Structure 1
Amino acid sequence: MTVELISVGTELLMGNIVNTNAQYLSRKCAELGFSLYFQITVGDNEGRLCEVIETALHRSDIIILTGGLGPTQDDITKESVAKVLKRNLVMDEESKRLIDDYFKFRFQGEKNTIVTENNWKQALKIEDSIVIKNDNGTAPGSIVEINNKSIIILPGPPAEMKPMFEQHIFPYLKKKQNKTFVSKMIKICGIGESRAETDILDLIEKQSNPTIAPYAKNGEVHFRITAAADCEAEAHQLLSPVVNELYQRFGENIYTSIEEETLEEVVAHLLIDKKYTLTTAESCTGGMLTGRIVNIPGVSDILKEGFITYSNEAKMKYLGVKKETLDQYGAVSSQTAQEMALGAAEAAEADAALAITGIAGPDGGTKDKPVGLVYIACNVKGHVTVKECHFKGNRQKVRDQSVIYALDLLRRSLK
């Protein structure tokens, strides 16, 4: 079956917000084994919205619309679907009651609070549709079935859309599949996308079931392996030899096969398992590395402190980097990175230390030390490994890649 996504909202077209809904729903449709050929973003214009709905109905089995369910005049998704289907909008009394309860709870204790008339617009439903309760907002979703096709309408805010999809829409769509689809994600660091794909080109060319799909990330490559079978156990049996083959080929470059697990989580868990403490010393990344590590719950057990030493004076004052080292080799050098990692571990009394120093650009590069040159040092129990990196891209991309490579260097050193 084919699915089409329609994201509604002028703010999406203008770039005022990032369309994370489409990314999330694409992943979920792949997980369900549906084919997704089209994603459309359309502004708050009834004529254009009706046009894309009509087109989607001709070429797709399932249409998922997000956004445009609010109380204002530019929220026109339900109205446009009803117009295309030539159905009326009628009041859903249960939705109206829930909206009334929401406002009573939200503004309890406040005097003269009146629910404005336009809020009841959200309680309207398309005739003969299935209303989906919204436990996190006032705009309910809905499902309209017509001629063996389904139109699914969901609220735009991700905090409302995702729970509604997980709880109600995913089980609904799963019933439409006569096969079970199981996926496994293999995440790789330290190898570029072109090399990673080349290394498994033979597997990709002869694939049928399971299938292998590569995804390029910033500094990472992910492979999604998906198997279709009559039951989950059979799908896992099909996946197993392919996953094993990827481990044979990529070895320690694979940092996880758990889709939800991030690189920083893997590193944090390694430190926690070994009961090692960590400190960081950052120059060009300015705290980004420490920020990634702090994302992990329980990291307070292992993270001692982080040093942001952007200037040479700070490197000498807080990390004990020698003036002679800076004068002879410069702030961006393997020698300085090594002394940063050693000094940070000593200053924080930590078992491990990560240090980053580099030229993120756009200025500051020379022929000998171009923009994108970054040195990363990893100190584990006094054993220091320094990696020289040459990154391409703008300032943000250089800094992002520096953080990823630093985390990966620590992962490898701990293993």
Structure 2
Amino acid sequence: MTPDDARAHYNYLMTLCIRREEAFGPLALAFLREQDLGRLGLLPEEQFNLYMATADAFAAEPKRYAHKLECLQKASDLLPKTRFWEPGLARQLTQDIQRTAAEIDIYTQAMRVPRAHDLKQQLFIVETDAPQYYLDLAQKRAAAYYQAKYRLPPEAKTAQHFGGAPKKFDPDNPAIQKEFPGACAPFMSARTNAFHLLLPFDLKISRTPDDPLEGGVRIFYAKLGYSYPLRYEMGKLCSYHDGQMLDVALDDPNLRFVSVSAIKEPEFRFVPDNQPPDVPADLAYPISVLDHVGSLGPFIQVSCKFKVWFDASVVSLLIQGAPDLTEYGVQGAAGLMTRTYASDKVESYAQSFREPWQEGLSYNFVNLHLGLLPGMESAVIPYNTPIFTIFPVLNRQAYRFQDRSQLGQDRPS
């Protein structure tokens, strides 16, 4: 940017300011951050005007005030170099800086979360075939997935700091576009502060047998209230268990075809112990998962052999389809695990309290229950895509909701 360009842009910005245009704040802050105004020949008075006008444009939200304080301090540093200087203005600017700093302190104090002295960190013990992937690598991949998907454009990040100016219809102006999902803290926390289950291979669910993935196919008759595993032999569908031929057409709307790809995550290292010698290494784990796929009514149940031990007297585990799962044409079932798995075998229960670390803990299994959305013929979930999310929540006996008016002036406990 040349000095002439800089002065022209300054005049443009001040025109926006006079008109109280919504775009002034974001454009002015970007100009102040990206350019050396002194080197570009802007006079101290011009720089002072721009810093003061920008400080005044920030939204009345203390979380934005660190940037406002910076603008005020820069203006204060410039004031003695300008012809505007006089004791009253300097005093007022100092008071504005002090007030803004005090408001930041109030906000910081209110936002601070005190740590309870008697808080005991909950430990969730996981048993799974591939802990290095599910407990470490998959969590990194999920975080990268959401950060890449919802990363804000630089203009949107700047625009977040401003508000209050009268809005005009200007939908194509990137300087004021700030209403993005990634700008909402609760929206992002539901994705980045959770534990996610991913798969290191592609997974396809379809209503037809067309174009299966290369790792193999399982077939299920799946409808509300009933499901059954099938095989395809000699041009007919038959029972997966005993091979009995069944009078079910390949275009039956209740059929579901589940297939998997080879491993696509380059850092996935686990190979099942019982890998057949004729199965390539990159297909061994996907096939082992496919072999354990089941069905529950209209849902396909994918088991990662993910067993979690937890203190059910304190926490429950909310499991549900990942927030963005429907974008792939699939819905995930949701459930709250409040105790030990109730449909296991006696031997499993007998073994659940033999080790010292098991004392006081319950266990349950996290499976992926997936169903095609209405109107979807097939869906492919790419590898390293968050499929299910686990949220630890307080045990129902550990909290209650109460009407504030019934507490008088006491703080809710």
When Rg is computed on C-alpha atoms for both structures, the one with the higher figure is 2
- When normalised by structure 2's length, the TM-score is 0.27
